Amino acid sequence: MTVQRMDYSTAIQTLKKADPILASVIEIVGNCQLHQVQQTQDLLFSLSRSILYQQLSGKAAAAIHSRFLQLYPQNLPTALDILNTPDEVLRTAGISRPKIVYLKDLAQKATDGLPTVEQLQTMDDEEIVKTLTPIKGIGRWTVQMLLMFRLHRLDVLPVDDLGIRAAIRNLYGLAQLPNKKTVEDLGQRWKPYRSVACWYLWRSLEVKTSLVK
């Protein structure tokens, strides 16, 4: 697969000027690779990935997602594949019982007809949230991951994301995890590139080098 290149230079320069703390993270982490996370695949693949990533660290979620994909030919499960996979087989991949329920509900919805990625591209962010959150286990955070990593929307801020909150606490010297309003207020300075800012916040959790507060 040829990786689509995206130019984040304007976003990075804007963020550096707007936020000196984030600027130090950008200098250490380097080029933004947000676009490399997911280039292709349909809505079923994207949402199933997001479900498996819910409430887990990135490393743990990636391991479970990998084991899930390995259950299927070419690592590309269809809706019928998921529906026909016994729950206990899914459990061997490390998937919790509630998430198995969510995956199978998603697969059933897919057989009934989900929107295509192309159809979603014509909608604004809130329309997409309203379209997809009626699916069991698909909340705002899950749709926001789709917006960021599959639809490549540049101004998404998942205020409830634990990694984002932990990164903000660490970088901005907070005594505890910030609440939703604190994240929203801080995020105002990152507009209209909050998705890019979030990618750097997530990466800051993996960087061993001491970051300047």
Q: Which residues are catalytic?
A: 161
Q: 10 Å Cβ neighbour count for 33?
A: 13
Alpha helices in the chain (DSSP H): 9-18, 20-29, 43-53, 58-69, 79-83, 87-92, 97-113, 117-121, 125-132, 140-149, 162-171, 180-187, 194-204
Separation CA 168–CA 179 (nearest Å): 11
Chain-centroid distance of CA 24 in Å reads 23
Structure tokens belonging to residue 49: 């990935």
Chain-centroid distance of CA 136 in Å reads 18
